[in-house]
């Protein structure tokens, strides 16, 4: 989605902060932060050899397909806040096994216990159960791939400006939100397929 429109939408619905966590890239988040430094948190959704990890307050991109521990260590090295993305969602990505998360738990700050794009509440409930059992903060994400999805999940937390303050604020987070329509995934899938077809037809175009 256009970065300027994303920022406009976030301000329109009254968000104080917006984390930009594109899949496996960080350039767009940096661009957004330059346009709205008071609003944007630079982050990334990193695909590992297991599931996906979220980093917030990042300064360097972490490549995809590292082991979970290596990805987490790279995030720790830059002082990022670390969360697990939609850990038990089995659609469209490799889900985490419970045992994998148990091993990783001591290195984490939070778990995404509410993701607006999952199909059933039970998926989020299982994530909540894991976070509570292992004493991890509760995070939430709109997982927005379109302007209309921005704000589907929000957190009410104390004011923060740094990674450490955000890490502490998450411990008292109040989650607000609703599940997005199942159709948003279908629309995203078609859009991704169209991009792949375009790239195949014009492989040398940027």
Check pLDDT > 90 for residue 92.
Answer: no
Instruction: In whole angstroms, give the CA distance from residue 159 to residue 169.
Output: 8
Q: Decide: helix, strand or coil at residue 37.
A: coil
pLDDT band at 95 (very low <50, low <70, confident <90, very high): confident
Instruction: In whole angstroms, give the CA distance from residue 16 to residue 39.
Output: 6
Check pLDDT > 80 for residue 202.
Answer: no
> Which CATH number does 3-181 carry?
3.20.20.140
**CB-hemisphere CA count at 13 Å for 197?**
6
The answer to whether 115 and 153 are in contact (CB under 8 A) is: yes
pLDDT band at 93 (very low <50, low <70, confident <90, very high): low
Question: Using CA of residue 57, residue 63, residue 65, residue 71, what is the dihedral sign?
Answer: negative
**pLDDT of amino acid 53:** 98
Q: Encode pLDDT of 12-59 as tens digits.
A: 999 999 999 999 999 999 999 999 999 999 999 999 999 999 999 999
The per-residue pLDDT of the chain, averaged, comes to 90
Alpha carbon of 194 to those of 6, 13, 89, 126, 199: distances in Å?
A: 22, 30, 24, 34, 9
Q: Decide: helix, strand or coil at residue 38.
A: coil
Q: Encode pLDDT of 60-73 as tens digits.
A: 999 999 999 999 99
Question: E strand or H helix at 75, and its extent?
Answer: helix 68-77
């Amino acid at each position: 989605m256009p970065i300027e429109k994303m920022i406009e939408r976030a301000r329109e619905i009254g968000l104080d902060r917006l984390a930009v966590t594109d899949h496996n890239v960080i350039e767009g988040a940096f661009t957004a932060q330059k346009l709205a430094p008071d609003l944007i948190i630079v982050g990334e959704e990193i695909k590992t050899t297991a599931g996906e990890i979220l980093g917030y307050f990042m300064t360097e991109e972490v490549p995809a397909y590292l082991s979970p521990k290596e990805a987490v260590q790279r995030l720790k090295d830059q002082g990022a806040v670390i969360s697990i993305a939609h850990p038990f969602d089995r659609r469209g990505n490799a889900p985490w096994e419970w045992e994998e998360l148990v091993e990783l738990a001591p290195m984490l700050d939070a778990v995404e216990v509410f993701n607006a794009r999952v199909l059933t509440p039970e998926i989020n409930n299982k994530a909540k159960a894991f976070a509570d059992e292992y004493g991890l903060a509760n995070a939430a994400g709109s997982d927005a791939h379109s302007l209309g999805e921005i704000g589907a999940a929000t957190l009410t937390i104390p004011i923060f400006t740094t990674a450490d303050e955000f890490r502490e604020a998450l411990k008292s987070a109040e989650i607000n939100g609703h599940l997005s329509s199942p159709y948003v995934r279908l629309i995203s899938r078609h859009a991704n397929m169209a991009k792949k077809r375009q790239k195949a037809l014009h492989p040398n175009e940027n």
